Amino acid sequence: MKQQDGTLTLPSGSKAAGAKLHLRKWLPEGPPKAIILLVHGYAEHSGRYQYFAEHCVDSGYAVFAVDHWGHGRSDGVPGYVPDFSVFHDGLDQLWACARHDFPELPVMLVGHSMGGLISATYLLANQSRFAACVLSGPAIKAAEEPSVFLKAVSGFLSRFFPKLGVVELDPNGVSRDPQVVADYLADPLVYNGKMGARLAAEMLNNMTDIQQNAEKISLPILLLHGEKDSLASADGSKFLDGHIASSDKTLILYPELFHEIFNEPEKDAVLTDMTDWLDRHVAARGT
């Protein structure tokens, strides 16, 4: 496996124009059969997906990822985003980078947690760019549905106190593997502070957006979720399964798994479920 690091720049039209995003590529030694664009979750970074990337590269895929604005080695303010579209702008640049390197290969989108929300909302306008999509523990519905009052307060704080910390995630909900939790807490590139009011409000708004427009998605889609996920409700994946227009859709629920299903003790089985599904879709395009 070859690993390459680089930088992408957000374009002039972005609300974070000129910001530098850290780019990672994991490539097989020979020609890849398809590209996976990996969209990581809130507060983490793409470097936490080394094991994921190794599994995918061993299966013949090239994996491309960026650290989102405000995350990992990228520019920006942790726990904050000026507008959710900045995450979409980063995905635009990542897609363009992958197409530049491998213009003939099918592109698969894989989003985890907040990355699942970024991916799902991105599909509303860009699904023609992808051959298929996998969402892992997508943040489509909050673990606890916010009240109307809380949403109103969230909007007020987002406007007037956008960087005020309002939400703190429990790291113990990440995985049942205590080593994964310990590594998460010790990782200097993981943000352990509170989520700011602007980002919290932007996430709630985009959850509403995808819930209201899910029927616009017709792309082949695989939904993977741990049923004991305390950070992003499995009801979100169930909702998508029931509302997207895709005729080719699969929902797999893992009864005992926590939020980061790619970092649970059963991760090899989960990753195999994913690449087996992707392999079928790559093969179908060649027939």
Catalytic residue, chosen from 14, 74, 85, 113, is 113
Helices marked H in 5-113 = 50-58, 85-101
Per-residue pLDDT of the chain (287 residues; tens, 9 = 90+): 999 999 999 999 999 999 999 999 999 999 999 999 999 999 999 999 999 999 999 999 999 999 999 999 999 999 999 999 999 999 999 999 999 999 999 999 999 999 999 999 999 999 999 999 999 999 999 766 665 545 666 777 777 777 777 888 899 999 999 999 999 999 999 999 999 999 999 999 999 999 999 999 999 999 999 999 999 999 999 999 999 999 999 999 999 999 999 999 999 999 999 999 999 999 988 64
From residue 235, give the alpha-carbon distance in Å to each of 142, 144, 147, 231, 277. Answer: 9, 11, 17, 12, 22
Who's near 32: CB < 8 A, 6+ residues apart?
60, 61, 62, 102, 105
The pTM of the full predicted model, rounded to 2 decimals, is 0.96
Whole-angstrom distance, CA of residue 189 vs CA of residue 67: 10
| DSSP β-bridge partners for residue 249 | 221
Whole-angstrom distance, CA of residue 226 vs CA of residue 279: 22
| Residue ranges per structural domain of the chain | 2-285
Two tokens, residue 141: 């519905």
Catalytic residue, chosen from 67, 89, 229, 273, is 229
Whole-angstrom distance, CA of residue 139 vs CA of residue 135: 9
Active site residue 71: no
Active site residue 230: no
Q: What are phi and psi of 132, to 5 degrees?
A: -170, 165
Residue 10 · residue 19 · CB < 8 Å:
yes
Which three-class secondary structure string do you get for 193-240?
A: CCEEHHHHHHHHHHHHHHHHHHHHCCCCEEEEEECCCCCECHHHHHHH
Active site residue 113: yes
Q: Give residue 149's pLDDT.
A: 47
CATH of 2-285, one of 3.40.50.11540, 3.40.50.1820, 3.20.20.100, 3.20.20.70: 3.40.50.1820
Whole-angstrom distance, CA of residue 6 vs CA of residue 1: 17
Catalytic residue, chosen from 22, 40, 259, 281, is 259
